[in-house]
Amino acid sequence: MADLKLLFEAILKGKQKDAVEITQQAINENIAPKELIDNYLIKAMEEIGSRFEQQKAFVPELLMAGRAMKSSLILLQPLLKGGDEKSGLGTVVIGTVKGDLHDIGKNLVGSMFEGCGFQVIDLGVDADSDKFISAVKEHQPDVIGLSALLTTTMPYMKTIIDALEEAGLRQQVKVMVGGAPVSAGFAAEIGADGYSDSANSAVVRAKELLGITH
């Protein structure tokens, strides 16, 4: 029997190989992917996130945990798609805005969306408005997530929102913004639909915006 507490520990400690092994064992034992994601993967990311907030964990640990989680998710995702698990909640296009290379938080948010059953298109870092516009046209996402960690790149979030307006695409997509210097006030000021300060609450907020109740 797969010891799922060890899956939690493996992700928390960023042990990618262990996380993959235990996940594969759990899959072989027909444990529901949703159970693994909700009760172990996300719980471990919440724990590392809260340790980070309390300065009991640091960026390398966050990165390693994120990588371990992603490796587990890669095994679980194909199983989510076919079944009646909470797949297909919607599509999220996410990226760090132009001029900004910080992607740790953006990756965590993307992983959390994926873990919760959204399809995620990651535009990477230094993404300009053209890249977002093309992605909206191509993927018809429900949500766009913009990340910025620098006070100098935050204003570019408004540039992207304005570009969406100009392209006539603003009404078809919810825009969420985040990153350490971003606030709810700033989000409202630039006309974003939502803001969140953590990966977990980002998903909760997105579901609220989309009227998803489960």
Give the footprint of ligand B12 on this chain (CB under 6 A): 49, 59, 62, 99-106, 108-109, 145-147, 149-151, 176-181, 196-199, 202
Shortest distance, position 210 Cβ to ligand B12, whole Å: 14
CB of 40 to ligand B12, least distance (A): 19
Distances in Å between the Cα of 108 and the Cα atoms of 4, 42, 163, 206 are: 22, 10, 26, 15
The alpha carbons of the chain give a radius of gyration, in whole angstroms, of: 17
Q: List, in sequence order, the alpha helices (H) in 99-176.
A: 104-115, 129-139, 155-166
Neighbours of 121 (CB within 10 A): 16
For the record, the structure tokens of 72 come out as: 């587990």
In angstroms, give the least distance from the CB of 101 to ligand B12. Answer: 4
**Residue (100 or 114) nearer to ligand B12, CB:** 100
Shortest Cβ 30–ligand B12 spacing (Å): 32
- Bridge partners, 92 (sequence order): 120, 143
Name which of 34 and 106 has its Cβ closer to ligand B12: 106
- Cβ nearer to ligand B12, comparing 31 with 153: 153
